[in-house]
Structure 1
Amino acid sequence: MTGLLVVAGAALAVVVVLFVLFRLTWRVAEPNEALIISGLRDRGTPEGVSESLGFRIVTGKGTLVLPGIQTVRRLSLDLREAELEIECVTHQGIPLGVRGVVIYKVGDDYASIANAARRFLDQQADMNQRVHNVFAGHLRAIVGSMTVEEMIRDREKLTQLTRESSGTEMEKLGLIVDSLQIQEIVDPTGYITNLGRPHNAAVQSQARIAQAGADREATEREQEAEALKAEAVRASSVKQAGYQAEIDRAAADARQAGPLSEATAKQQVVVQETRVAELEAQREEQRLQATIRKPADAHAYEQTTLAKAERDARISAAEAHAKEVELQAVANSQRVKVEAGADAERVRLAAGAEAEHV
Structure 2
Amino acid sequence: MPKGHHAKGAYAGRGTLVLPGVQAVRKLSLDLNETELQVDCVTHQGIPLKVRGVVIFKVGDDFASIANAARRFLDQQKLMSERVHNVFAGHLRSIVGGLTVEDHEIEDPTGYIQNLAMPHAAAVQRDARIAQTEAEQQSFARLAEATRDSEILQAGYQAERDKAGAKARQAGPIADAAARQEVVVQETRVAELEAHRREQQLQADVRKPADAQAYEERTLAEAERDARISAAQAKAKETELVAAAEATRVKTAAGAEAEATRTRGAATAAATRATGEAEAAAAQARGLAQAEATKAQGLAEAEAIKARAAALAENQEAVVAQQLAENWPEIVRAGASAFGNVDNMVLLNGADGMADVFGKALTMGGTGFGPARQLLASMNQNGQAPKEASPLGGLAQKVPMDEK
TM over 0.5, shorter chain: no
User: Radius of gyration: which is bigger?
Assistant: 2
Higher strand proportion: 1
Q: TM-score, normalised by structure 2?
A: 0.28
Which structure exhibits the higher relative contact order, with contacts defined as CA atoms closer than 8 Å and separated by 6 or more residues? Answer: 1
Higher helix proportion: 2
